[in-house]
Amino acid sequence: MLIACIAMIILFSPIVYVISKYIKSKGGYVASIPIWITLLYLLSLGGELLRNHSVFEYFKWIETDYIRVSLGFLLDGVSYAIALIILFVTALAAIYSVTYLEHEEGHEAYYAYYMLYVAGMLGAVASTNLIQFFFFWELMLVPSYLLIAGWGYGDRRRVAYKYFLYTQLGSILILLGILYVGSLIGSFEFKDLVLVRSYVGSRELLLLLTAFVAGFGVKMAIVPLHGWLPEAHAEAPTPISVILSGVMIEIGLYALIRIVLPITSSKWNTCTGTTILMTLALISMLYGGLMALTQNDVKRLLAYSSISQMGYMFFGVAAATQTGIEGSIFHIFNHGLLKGLLFMVAGVLIHQVGIRDMRKLGGLATKMPITASLAVVGAMGIAGLPGISSFISEFLIFLGGYESVSPYKYLLLAFAVLSTGISAAYMTYFIRRVFFGPLNEALKDAKDPPLPMLIPMFILAVTAVILGIYPSLLLKYVIPGLEFVKEVLNP
């Protein structure tokens, strides 16, 4: 049934193209239909996931004397939460697009690309082998490039090309690693990746770890591989910024857990390996937060915030502990909620007042009280305040760092906790400059946006609060289904 859901989303691409020719931006409602159906189906699998800890579909694909590649789809403690947030955010972003794109042209192409983009992300997360994963990985890239180039802001074509070039260079490293792994073990199945350690020495494992971390690190925008992200997030159409930041870059982190950790855990889960990777994550946390503090453009501030938040998620995985990985998976979900909400707030500013420069904003809480309230929820969440879901996931990430084998874990944790103060600073800076203080006279006619923009924002905010109070609603699916991680870390 998973394969049918992904096929349905792909097949809706030409359908929504034709329908949108006649109903224009309202094609977003049509585009959201297969996404909602798939989301409801995944939610219906919750009981089976709790009983069996995984849901698996398998189909024969390529079988020769030398190599076998299946067509398989898997949901477990690692992939289930990520698949849910992909569908949840993209369904809401499609509805948000209805009003946001009402004055744009080419709605039919926008929604056709949008459907392929969603299918690529979902397929990558649910794949069970390297070839299938790489196909969907590349399927994410092409439509996202076209969406940025076609409906973005500023020098959008240059920005889109830069994004395409960066991610393709990362893909080359990933493909080389995939082909090398397949040639060693004669299989591309995820379940066989642990066999690689039996075929190669320490040096080869280190090269594989470096190549994969660099390749997936480009998509994750880990410093110093982040050069594409600030411009791409800032200049992409806002609904696509919601997806880029909220769910797409996190798929690179998922790949580290699913693909790289099983192959290289003997090099990763060591004092030196863990320390280096945790330090790399910490650099992203601090750099992204400090750069966010220097921004005047709302979307660029949120873009640099994404680099910082990606550092948190990488920190938990880099610690190579089950608790840290649980926290990172939960933080992927929470970041999708909160950063999706905040980018939608930025889109409201662009749509309603036509300004994204914080030096020209201020006092909007009196004119846009609902938007301001929702923005405060998002800002509190990114700052990691109790009562919002990200507080729980950050706590688990830091606890995972404490359990790591790094001899410098206390120093690394001290700087990691410091970065939460930086997050609070730039989020306070954002809220203060946009919604409080004296009202700019040019904004006296500002008002809250129409319901198709407000409702998705409200749903994201409420979900973040509910999970902040009752995190086990999601964690009950994540924690029991992490046998895969236990086996990898404790072979």
Secondary structure element (H or E) that encloses residue 63, with its range: strand 54-63
Could you give the dihedral angle defined by the CA atoms of residues 155, 160, 166 and 170, in that order, rounded to the nearest 10 degrees? 170
Full DSSP string of 309-362? HHHHHHHHHHTT-HHHHHHHHHHHHHHHHHHHHHHHHHHHHHHHTS--BGGG--
Q: Which two tokens stand for residue 262?
A: 């099983």
Let me know: does 234 contact 307? Beta carbons within 8 Å: no
Task: Give mean pLDDT, residues 69-77.
Answer: 84
Looking at residues 154-175, what average pLDDT do you find? 89
Spatial separation of the C-alpha atoms in residues 257 and 283, rounded to whole Å:
20
Question: Mean pLDDT across the stretch 396-408?
Answer: 90
Average pLDDT over residues 320-336: 92
Contact 38, 83 (CB under 8 A): no
* pLDDT (tens digit per residue) in 261-273: 888 887 788 888 8
Query: What is the average per-residue pLDDT within 247-270?
Result: 87
Please classify residue 104 by burial: count the beta carbons closer than 10 Å to its beta carbon, then call 0-12 exposed, 13-18 middle and 19+ buried.
middle
Q: How does residue 425 score in pLDDT terms, banded at 50, 70 and 90? A: very high
- If we measure between CA atoms, which residue out of 423, 342, 338 comes closest to residue 388? 338
The distance in angstroms from the start CA to the end CA of the chain is 32
Average the pLDDT over 52-62 and give the result: 79
256/213 Cα distance (integer angstroms): 7
Residue 65 is predicted with a pLDDT of 63
Contact 116, 17 (CB under 8 A): no
- The candidate with the shortest Cα–Cα distance to 50, out of 77, 24, 73, 28, is 77
Place of tokens 């009202």: 439
DSSP string, 1-15: -HHHHHHHHHHHHHH
> What is the rounded CA–CA span in Å between residue 171 and residue 166?
9
What pLDDT, on a 0 to 100 scale, did the predictor assign at position 60? 74
For residue 239, cis peptide bond before it (omega within 30 degrees of 0):
no
The pLDDT tens digits of the residues spanning 18-40 come to 998 888 888 889 999 999 999 99
pLDDT at residue 296 is higher than 70: yes
Torsion of CA 12, 14, 16, 20, to 10 degrees: 180
DSSP state of 54: E
Query: What's residue 441's pLDDT?
Result: 79
The Cα 475–Cα 46 span in angstroms is 12
State the pTM of this model.
Answer: 0.94
Which residue, 119, 126, 158, is CA-closest to 14? 119
The pair of structure tokens assigned to 450 is 């129409």
Each residue of 167-225: pLDDT tens digit?
889 899 999 999 998 888 888 888 888 888 888 778 888 888 889 999 999 888 898 88
Mean of all residue pLDDT scores within the chain: 89
As a whole number of angstroms, the distance between CA 79 and CA 318 comes to 18
CA distance 491 to 81: 25
Tell me the CA distances in angstroms from 169 to 161, 163, 212, 218, one per residue in order.
12, 10, 12, 8
What is the pLDDT at residue 490? 66
DSSP per-residue string spanning 220-289: HT-TTS-TTHHHHHHHS-HHHHHHIIIIIHHHHHHHIIIIIHHHHHHHHSSHHHHHHHHHHHHHHHHHHH
Q: Hey, where are the domains in the chain?
A: 2-489
Q: Which of 229, 245, 464, 468 is nearest to 347 (CA)?
A: 245
Return the percent helix, strand and coil in the chain, to nearest 5.
80, 5, 15
- Burial (Cβ within 10 Å: 0-12, 13-18, ≥19) of residue 356: buried
DSSP 8-state secondary structure symbol assigned to residue 192: G
* Rounded Cα gap, residues 201 and 187, in angstroms: 19
pLDDT of 491 higher than 60: no
Written as one letter, the residue type at 63 is: E
Phi then psi dihedrals of residue 8, to 5 deg: -65, -40
Position 290 pLDDT exceeds 60: yes
**Which has the higher per-residue pLDDT, 459 or 230?**
459
- Least Cα distance to 80 among 13, 25, 123, 125 occurs for 125
Closest CA to 245 of 237, 233, 228, 231: 233
pLDDT tens per residue across span 444-489: 888 889 999 999 999 999 999 999 999 988 888 887 777 777 776 7
The length of the chain is 491
What is the sign, positive or negative, of the torsion defined by CA atoms of 335, 467, 474, 281?
Answer: positive
